[in-house]
């Protein structure tokens, strides 16, 4: 799934990662801050990011100000669980997502917000946590794009079904890192020609137009071990200790 290009070939293409978690996340216990993420993003040449906390809109003004100083567009976003399925909402406020209980609520929000809202189906055909699965076909009108999940290698690639659905319904595919560890951020991303000016509105328009490149290399052995360790050992332990603390 990798489309690597040299700096010269890139021309004025920019890198985006629209599905990332930080230690502000109310559900997942992480160990890096939004500021650490911004520093790494700047070093790796990213122009657009969305911090997508579980069931909460990331809206810390000082982080948005820091991103702006670094020349990075930070889009207010959230990863909401609706009827057991995760949906990424880009360009939302806490009020927008507050009352969302079901897919009809999502439809009403989309009707109200029109083109200023953008929704993504994350890791739709993966078995772990919050994947929508084949219900994606019934609720496809709730989504603007489909995520190409970072976790794939060889024969193990549930993204194949996601790609087929994206093609069937004419939805763009977006590669993201879904980073829960800082080292996981940077290899998996989407590129687009730089819109001018670089604003949330122009980025969403460009995403809809679908002139995108996706960069999603196969997971390395180290990433596989690291992901399994995080999902099955470190994260459950952290959650347990966190639970005891409260």
CATH number, domain containing residue 141: 3.20.20.140
The answer, yes or no, to whether residue 123 has pLDDT greater than 50, is: yes
pLDDT digits (tens, 9 = 90+) for 32-75: 899 999 999 999 999 999 999 999 999 999 999 999 999 999 99
pLDDT over threshold 60, residue 244: no
Lowest-confidence range among 8-12, 21-25, 73-77, 128-132?
8-12
**Residue 16: inside a domain:** yes
Question: What's this model's pTM, rounded to 2 decimal places?
Answer: 0.86
Which structural domain, as residue segments, surrounds residue 184?
Answer: 7-219
Least confident of 35-39, 105-109, 131-135: 131-135
Does the residue 117 lie in any domain? yes
Check whether 119 has a pLDDT greater than 50.
yes
For the chain, give the mean pLDDT. Answer: 88
Residue 197 within a domain: yes
214-223 mean pLDDT = 86
In this structure, is residue 233 part of a structural domain? no
Does a structural domain hold residue 166?
yes
Helices (H), 84-199: 94-98, 103-113, 135-138, 159-169
Average pLDDT over residues 199-219: 94
The total of structural domains in the chain comes to 1
| Nearest by Cα to 78 from 59, 102, 54, 113 | 54
CA neighbours within 13 Å on the CB side: how many for 193? 8
Residue 179 within any structural domain of the chain: yes
What separation in angstroms does the CA of 115 have from each of 109, 201, 205? 11, 8, 8
Question: Does the structure show a pLDDT above 50 at 9?
Answer: no
Provide the 8-state DSSP code for 130: S
Alpha carbon distance 158, 134 (integer Å)? 12
| Domain presence at residue 234 | no
pLDDT, average across residues 205-209: 96
Given a contact cutoff of 8 angstroms between Cβ atoms, the answer to whether 30 and 180 are in contact is yes
């Amino acid at each position: 799934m990798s489309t690597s290009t040299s700096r010269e070939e890139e021309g004025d293409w920019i890198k985006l990662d629209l599905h990332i978690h930080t230690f502000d996340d109310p559900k997942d216990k992480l160990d890096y801050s939004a500021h650490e993420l911004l520093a790494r993003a700047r070093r790796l040449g990213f122009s657009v990011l969305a911090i997508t906390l579980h069931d909460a809109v990331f809206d810390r003004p000082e982080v948005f100000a820091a991103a702006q100083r670094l020349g990075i567009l930070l889009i207010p976003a959230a990863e909401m669980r609706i009827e057991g399925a995760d949906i990424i909402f880009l360009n939302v406020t806490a009020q927008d997502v507050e009352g969302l209980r079901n897919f009809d609520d999502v439809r009403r929000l989309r009707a109200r917000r029109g083109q200023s809202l953008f929704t993504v189906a994350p890791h739709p055909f993966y078995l772990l946590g919050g994947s929508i699965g084949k219900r994606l076909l019934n609720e496809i009108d709730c989504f603007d794009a489909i995520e190409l999940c970072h976790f794939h290698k060889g024969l193990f690639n549930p993204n194949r079904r996601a790609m087929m659905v994206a093609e069937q319904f004419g939805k763009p595919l977006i590669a993201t890192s879904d980073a829960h560890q800082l080292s996981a951020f940077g290899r998996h991303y989407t590129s687009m020609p730089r819109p001018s000016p670089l604003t949330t509105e122009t980025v969403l328009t460009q995403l809809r137009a679908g002139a995108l490149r996706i960069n999603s290399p196969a997971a390395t052995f180290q990433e596989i071990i690291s992901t399994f360790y995080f999902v099955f050992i470190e994260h459950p332990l952290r959650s347990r200790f966190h639970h005891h603390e409260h």
